[in-house]
Amino acid sequence: MLDLEARSLRVTAGDIEFLDQTQLPQREAWYPCNTPDQWQAAVTSLAIRGAPLIGLSAALVLARYANEHPSADWQAVSARLRATRPTAVNLMHCLDEMGACFAAGPKAMSQRAAELFAEDRALCQRMAERGAELLVDGDCVLTHCNTGALATAGVGTAIGALAVAHQRGTRLTVFVDETRPLLQGGRLTAWEMADLGIPYELICDSMAASLMAAGRVDKIMVGADRICANGDFANKVGTYMLAVLAHHHKVPFYVVAPYTTVDPQCQSGADIPIEQRNPAEVRGVSGAFGDVSWAPKDAPVWNPAFDVTPAELVTAWILDTGVFKAADIARGVHMMRP
């Protein structure tokens, strides 16, 4: 397998390692991810996260497994990986690409996994450049969850657009939602903003409405885990709330994602499977600092990992293949492959 390196995933001499995102920003710790069991544990805990990165890491793990177990049932392993995160379609895309190489053997699978990794870098750069073109000097941009280099093989999706704009000299202020349940915004996006040198302010998710009412938000940019044929999309829970608020306050609302996030087989948001997560994530929080609980240990919890934003609330879909408005979505232009 070729040596590969991204901000939170790397392959060296065939060994796969990931940066444990649950320990950021306090500690940068790398761990092996050479087996399907290790991958599933890391993805379930959100140590590996971000729709593109989940798919890419699965492809790499499956390729390594095939090389080490040439007589195994690779399809069964692929099915087990696929079931780990049902909402993000990037995982399905990568595993489908790997499945198409089964007949050619382990070497072809390793090569295809490396190609997917390189492709994601290119997709990130293209969509980031398109998104950056929509940002102007002095913009205050609100973002949700984490969509930067930690979540992809490249510069990121929504945060990638902010990064490219900043590199071009566009002055920005970014409002970072803390993002429940594991505070991906507070722990990861704030860390990435500081690393990029982009001025930012961290807010609780429930503060976004007041911020918009005060006229302090010019644009909202978020990522996506699955975009449907009609333009509805799933993203980290809390995104739909932002879209409703943006519509009320007339704030442009953009979704930034690669073409691999578009699912032509999914007609609308009603068809997207929504993952339910561990109730303990809402009763408290865990991280490099340890475990903290703030609710009764047996408190009933509803904990969907994602919500669905209807297409009518989206100003534009920023993909690597183009920037699409509602009329484009109605014609299905966003489903065209590069």
DSSP label of 102? G
50 is in an annotated binding site: yes
283 is in an annotated binding site: no
125 is in an annotated binding site: no
d(CA 279, CA 219): 32
φ/ψ region of 218 (left if φ > 0, alpha if ψ in -120 to 50, else beta) reads: alpha
85 is in an annotated binding site: yes
Do the Cβ atoms of 151 and 144 come closer than 8 Å? no
d(CA 11, CA 8): 11
Closest C-alpha among 231, 195, 244, 215 to residue 325: 231
Give the active site residue among 20, 120, 177, 225: 225
Q: 8-15: list long-range contacts, CB under 8 Å, 24+ apart.
A: 8/48, 8/50, 8/53, 8/149, 8/150, 8/151, 9/48, 9/53, 9/56, 9/57, 9/60, 9/153, 11/60, 14/64, 14/67
- If 0-12 CB within 10 Å is exposed, 13-18 middle and 19+ buried, where does residue 317 land? buried
d(CA 85, CA 77): 14
Do the Cβ atoms of 145 and 181 come closer than 8 Å? no
Task: Please report, as a single letter, which amino acid is at residue 158.
Answer: A
In the residue annotation, 225 being an active-site residue is answered as: yes
236 is in an annotated binding site: yes
Q: Which helix (H) or strand (E) holds 293?
A: strand 290-293
The tokens describing 153, both together, are 């093989």
d(CA 94, CA 112): 9
278 is in an annotated binding site: no
> Looking at the chain, how many residues does it have?
338
* Active site amino acids: 225
Residues annotated within the binding site for substrate are 49-51, 85, 184, 235-236
